[in-house]
Chain A
Amino acid sequence: MSDTERSSTHLGRREENIRLGLLAVAFSAVFVLALIILFVFQAGVPLIWKTGLGPFLGGLEWGPTRGQFGILAMIVGTIQVTLGALLLGVPLSLLAAIHLSEFAKPSTRVVLKPLIELLAAIPSVVYGFIGVVVLVPFVRETFGGSGFSVLTAAVVLGVMILPTVISISVDALQAVPHSYREGALALGATPWQAVTRVVVPAARSGIVTAVVLGMGRAMGETMAVIMVAGNAVVVPTSPLHPCRTLTSNIALEMAYAAGDHQKALFATGVVLFVMIFLLNALATALVRRR
Chain B
Amino acid sequence: MTPETRQDNLRWNRLGQRLCLGMTMAVVAVLVAILAYLVWHGGDRLTIGFFLDFPKDLGREGGILPILVSTMVLAVLALAIAVPLGIGTAVYLTEYTREGWVTTVIRFGAECLAGIPSIIFGLFGFILFVVHLGLGWSILSGALTLACMVLPTIIRTSEEAIKAVPAVLRQVGFSLGATKSQVIWHIVLPQARRGIITGVILALGRVMGETACVIFTTGISMEMPTSPLDSARSMAVHFYLLAREGISMEMANTTALALVGMILLINTAAAVLVARRSSR
Contact = CB atoms under 8 A, between A and B. Distances in A.
Q: Do chains A and B touch in the complex (CB under 8 A)?
A: yes
Interface of A: 11, 14-15, 18-19, 21-23, 25-30, 32-33, 35-36, 39-40, 43, 92-93, 95-96, 98-100, 102-104, 112, 114-116, 118-130, 132-134, 159, 162, 166, 188, 190-193, 195-196, 213, 216, 219-223, 226-227, 247, 250-251, 254-255, 265-266, 269, 272-273, 276-277, 280
Interface residues of B, number: 83
Contact of A39 (B116, B124, B202, B259): B124
A116 B28 CA distance: 6
Interface in B65-87: 84-85
A247 B254 CA distance: 27
B209 A39 contact: no
Interface in B97-153: 102, 105-106, 108-113, 115-124, 126-128, 132, 148, 151-152
Ranked nearest first, the 3 interchain pairs of A and B with the lowest CB-CB distance are A220-B117, A123-B209, A30-B109
A40 B124 contact: yes
Contacts of A280: 111-112, 115
Contact of B17 (A28, A191, A277): A191
Interface stretch (B29-37, B49-57, B167-175, B221-229): B29-37
A122 B260 contact: yes
A130 B119 CA distance: 21
A273 B259 CA distance: 29
A219 to B, nearest CB: 7
9 contacts: A11-B179, A25-B88, A36-B148, A92-B27, A162-B27, A191-B13, A192-B12, A192-B16, A219-B117
A21 B92 CA distance: 9
A231 to B, nearest CB: 11
A39 B115 contact: no
B208 to A, nearest CB: 7
A196 B19 CA distance: 13
A272 B152 CA distance: 19
Contact of B205 (A27, A100, A121): A121
Most chain A beta carbons < 10 A, residue from B21, B124, B209: B124
A266 B123 CA distance: 7
A11 B181 CA distance: 10
B264 A118 contact: yes
Given A29-B110, A190-B12, A36 B121 contact: yes
A272 B116 CA distance: 9
A129 B30 contact: no
Nearest to B123: A269
Contacts of B110: 29-30
B120 A272 contact: yes
A126 B119 contact: no
Nearest to A249: B119
Contacts, number: 242
B37 to A, nearest CB: 6
Most chain B beta carbons < 10 A, residue from A19, A100, A126, A255: A126
B267 A33 contact: no
Contacts of A255: 215
B31 A223 contact: no
B221 to A, nearest CB: 14
A132 B115 CA distance: 27
Contacts of B193: none
A103 B20 contact: yes
A254 B137 CA distance: 13
Contacts of A193: 9, 12-13
A103 B24 CA distance: 11
B60 interface: no
Given A103-B17, A125-B236, A254-B216, A18 B181 contact: yes
A26 B111 contact: no
A276 B117 contact: yes
A22 B111 CA distance: 19
Nearest to A283: B115
Contacts of A14: 179, 181
Contacts of A250: 119, 122-123
B180 to A, nearest CB: 6
Contact of A124 (B38, B105, B180, B211): B211
A35 B113 CA distance: 11
Interface in B199-240: 202, 205, 208-212, 215-216, 236, 239-240
A28 B122 contact: no
B243 A122 contact: no
A186 to B, nearest CB: 15
Contact of A190 (B10, B210, B211): B10
Contacts of B252: 129
